[in-house]
Amino acid sequence: MYNTPIKNVFQGTYQVWELEFSPHSSVHSKFKRILDIVGSLVGLLILAIVFVPIAIAIKIDNPGPIFFTQERYGLQGTPFRLRKFRSMVSNAEKLKSLVSNEANGLIFKNTNDFRVTRVGRWLRSTSLDELPQFWNVLIGDMSLVGTRPPTHDEVIKYTSRHWQRLNVKPGLTGEWQVNGRSQVKDFEQIVDLDLRYQKNWHPLYDLMLIAKTFSVIFGRIGAC
């Protein structure tokens, strides 16, 4: 139904996509960028405070690295390295084939994924696992508010409809996170939410979504 308006090019070890779509107007908003910088600095301060106890908890619960690092794709298919606190066992990728996918479409979800550690479940339910991503926000790979950054396995299957969700920078939060979070398991519904964000966006809209994010996190709404 949709043609994918891209061509693959390579920059070093990265596979990059050149898109015909134009970036969303939010990408050029000075207010949004200032909000990102201020918010990321606050987030990194919180990260500095809680880093040691979280790192110790991760190590005690399951041996392995403190961080989980993965290549993701952002604005217009630009690749970047995303880092989170590790919430799964260290060999999680090798065990992925043993976990059934409960979601529909180009996402992977399992509510009772056995690979998630005890500390990992707590980190995910409180969203503390995402604190390291404030660095991605500060350097401009991500924004406080946007879309979920996809993996390589996802974007190689994208249609033109799906690529439109990357007309904005990926975000720590967004429409999907405040409107269902883990309870939304249909990828097309997530795309609908992402496109709704682009349609409704204005500077104050980001502030509204950030406020709603805090209520979702503290209320443990849709947490996995």
Q: What pLDDT is attached to residue 12?
A: 44
Name the pTM for this structure. Answer: 0.86
Given a cut of 70, whether residue 19 has pLDDT beyond it is: no
Q: What pLDDT is attached to residue 179?
A: 82
What does pLDDT average to over the chain? 88
Q: What pLDDT is attached to residue 185?
A: 83
**Per residue in 36-77, pLDDT tens?**
999 999 999 999 999 999 999 999 999 999 999 999 999 999
Looking at residues 140-154, what average pLDDT do you find? 94
Token digits of residue 173: 């939060």
Q: Which of 16-20, 76-80, 217-221 has the highest mean pLDDT?
A: 76-80
CB-based contact 84:133 (threshold 8 Å) = yes
**Per residue in 152-208, pLDDT tens?**
989 999 998 899 999 999 999 999 888 866 677 899 999 999 999 999 999 899 999
Percent with pLDDT over 70 in the chain? 87
Q: What pLDDT is attached to residue 59?
A: 96
